Amino acid sequence: AQSVTQLDSHVSVSEGTPVLLRCNYSSSYSPSLFWYVQHPNKGLQLLLKYTSAATLVKGINGFEAEFKKSETSFHLTKPSAHMSDAAEYFCVVSDGSSNTGKLIFGQGTTLQVKP
Amino acid sequence: DVKVTQSSRYLVKRTGEKVFLECVQDMDHENMFWYRQDPGLGLRLIYFSYDVKMKEKGDIPEGYSVSREKKERFSLILESASTNQTSMYLCASCPGTLSYILPTYEQYFGPGTRLTVT
């Protein structure tokens, strides 16, 4: 069965410093992996997705993630945090065991950006 | 742009009331989903639908039902609201045929309805 673990429930960085949000997954199939972001009082927005093409995936707003099969990880990074990056981030794996389109969400990581 | 709208942003209901949450998408997507979001638990799938009048249980369907009479509209129904159903409810849609949704397809989310049951 697929599962996702976000290793930090809360991450705090200073503006201008790098961001690292960690995600490990478990999947018996070739996974499709996503990062979604949720700003306060907003719906979820797709940041980026991995679909078995390039292992380094670039997303919106300067974020990127690297798929590492040997480590079963899909960590999200950004070189320089901006105040507008403060939000909740979800690592998500698609249930490849069926054709349902079912998504399995991690518990979420709240990113705080300090001035 | 894909747009998914939900009928209410905030809703307060009393225990035992019947509650309807409405979701509408404008991209002619076949597939629609209802999730609830709770702190520390991420999003959990309640029900989803592949097509009009079709529905499938997700991971936590107990206490909920759904209705899909039109392709663009997917309703979540709480038959008798209870305090443990106080949560944020999110609707989503994605493309895909009746028989197959590619795992790579992105889901598009509405802004959510924060339901409080007192």
Task: Tell me: pLDDT of B26 over 70.
Answer: yes
Residues of B in contact with A100 (CB under 8 A): 48, 56, 101
Start-to-end CA span in chain A (Å): 41
| Three-class SS state of B84 | helix
Contact A93, A33 (CB under 8 A): yes
- DSSP type of residue B27: S
Amino acid identity, position A93: V
C-alpha to C-alpha distance for A66 and A74, rounded to whole angstroms:
6
Reported residue count of chain A is: 115
C-alpha to C-alpha distance for B110 and B82, rounded to whole angstroms:
23
Contact B87, A83 (CB under 8 A): no
Task: Tell me: pLDDT of B89 over 90.
Answer: yes
- Pairwise pLDDT comparison (B37 vs A40), residue with the higher score: B37
Nearest to B40 among A9, A43, A95 (CB): A9
If we measure between CA atoms, which residue out of B118, B88, B93, B117 comes closest to residue B8? B88
Any residues with CB less than 8 A from the CB of B94 and at least 6 apart, and which? A101, B29, B31, B33, B101, B105, B106, B107, B108
If we measure between CA atoms, which residue out of A39, A38, A45, A32 comes closest to residue A4? A32
Residue A102 confidence (pLDDT):
79
DSSP string, A22-88: -EEEE-SS---EEEEEE-TTS-EEEEEEE-SS-SEEE-GGG-EEEEETTTTEEEEEESS--GGG-EE
Interchain CB contact of A43 with B (< 8 Å): yes
pLDDT in tens, B40-88: 888 999 999 988 888 999 999 999 999 999 999 999 999 999 999 999 9
Residue in B closest to A34 by C-alpha: B106
If we measure between CA atoms, which residue out of A43, A44, B91 comes closest to residue A34? A44
Nearest to B103 among A32, A43, A107 (CB): A32
Residue A89 confidence (pLDDT):
97
Q: Mean pLDDT in chain B? A: 91
